[in-house]
Amino acid sequence: MTDNNAKVWLITGSSTGFGCSLSEAVLKRGDRVVATARRPEQLSELVDQYPQTVKTIRLDVTDLQEVHDAVQTALDAFGQVDVLVNNAGYGVLGAIEEISDEAIRRQFETNVFGALNMMRAVLPTMRQQRSGHILNLSSVGGFVSFAGAGIYNGTKFALEGLSEALAKEVEPLGIKVTIVEPGAFRTDFNGRSLALPDQTLEDYAPTSGQMLEWIQEMDGQQPGDPDKAAAAMIQAVESKNPPLRLALGADAVSAIHEKLESVKAELDAWEQIAVNTAFEGVEVGAVGRH
């Protein structure tokens, strides 16, 4: 039986990892899901198990037509979209100088423009509904940068900047935005999904090279359980006051604390120089306030 009060989720990258765990978890609790993948045949088990409440469709988030088709599928099947999960993404590793222009652009196309495509396609529906929740899978690397992950960090910082502004734009319209910042979780991220640098330069062996080794060694050993991450994301969606940022994993939490402290210490140390830069006699207000 379909519960018509059940939420409708649209999830990108449902084939493996977080997207797979989350699709299964929300279906298990009785919600309805448009599960998407570049190879939708990977989702056939979900269809067998939940024939009434799951719809699947091919979706590469870089293909605008497929993006609009996925949103339309949700509307045709279930009449609404309550939760969009921008999960599809991958990591390019290597020093900034080591990665080709093409690989950099591909990384931004998926992690930034792909998520942006989805948000912009779903917003007219959510605005009309005056409700909805957008979950954007960023990373601890969307708040803290690491040597050897600069391009990936750039995409996730961009996603966080977009999400933070969007949250302020759509909050008065009844729509919520949550940025999810996982640490290391046991998915395909460190394995088949990883894009390695086109060349490696000896000068970066102690910085980027070390990171690359660590990430690859960590494959299959990551402490984070994607099923538990899915449960935490559901809890955030169900919360009366969902967080703007949801860090996941003790590793993410401690790296974010460390960054906040170092930013605060540096801001304090340079404050006198920073604040003495206005024209004489001009009063300075907060950014963006009249």
Q: How many whole angstroms from its chain centre is CA 116?
A: 11
138 is catalytic: yes
State the Cα–Cα distance between residues 6 and 144, nearest whole angstrom.
Answer: 36
State the Cα–Cα distance between residues 244 and 31, nearest whole angstrom.
Answer: 23
Is 150 a binder of ligand NAP (CB under 6 A)? no
State the Cα–Cα distance between residues 206 and 212, nearest whole angstrom.
Answer: 10
Is 129 a binder of ligand NAP (CB under 6 A)? no
* In the complex, minimum distance from the CB of residue 288 to ligand NAP, in angstroms, rounded to a whole number: 29
**In this chain, which residue has its C-beta nearest to ligand NAP?**
17
State the Cα–Cα distance between residues 182 and 18, nearest whole angstrom.
Answer: 10
Are the C-beta atoms of residues 187 and 226 closer than 8 Å to each other?
A: yes
Q: Which of residues 182, 208, 209, 233 is near ligand NAP by CB under 6 A?
A: 182
* In the complex, minimum distance from the CB of residue 165 to ligand NAP, in angstroms, rounded to a whole number: 19
Residues 231-290 that bind ligand NAP (CB under 6 A): none
Is 12 a binder of ligand NAP (CB under 6 A)? yes
CA atoms within 13 A on the CB side of 48: 5
Is 139 a binder of ligand NAP (CB under 6 A)? yes
Is 24 a binder of ligand NAP (CB under 6 A)? no
Terminal Cα-to-Cα distance of the chain (whole angstroms):
53
Is 178 a binder of ligand NAP (CB under 6 A)? no
Is 98 a binder of ligand NAP (CB under 6 A)? no
Q: What is the DSSP track for 15-64? A: SSHHHHHHHHHHHHTT-EEEEEESSGGGGHHHHHH-TTTEEEEE--TT-H
Residues in contact with ligand NAP, shown as a per-residue x/- string from 204 to 223 under the rule CB under 6 A = ------------------x-
* In the complex, minimum distance from the CB of residue 18 to ligand NAP, in angstroms, rounded to a whole number: 4
Judged by CB under 6 A, which stretch of 3-11, 13-21, 196-204, 272-280 contacts ligand NAP? Answer: 13-21
> Which residues contact residue 190 at a Cβ distance below 8 angstroms, ignoring those fewer than 6 apart?
184, 215, 216, 218, 219, 220, 222
Which is closer to ligand NAP, CB of 53 or CB of 222? 222
**Footprint of ligand NAP on this chain (CB under 6 A)?**
12-13, 15-19, 37-39, 59-62, 87-91, 110, 114, 137, 139, 182, 184-185, 187-189, 193, 222
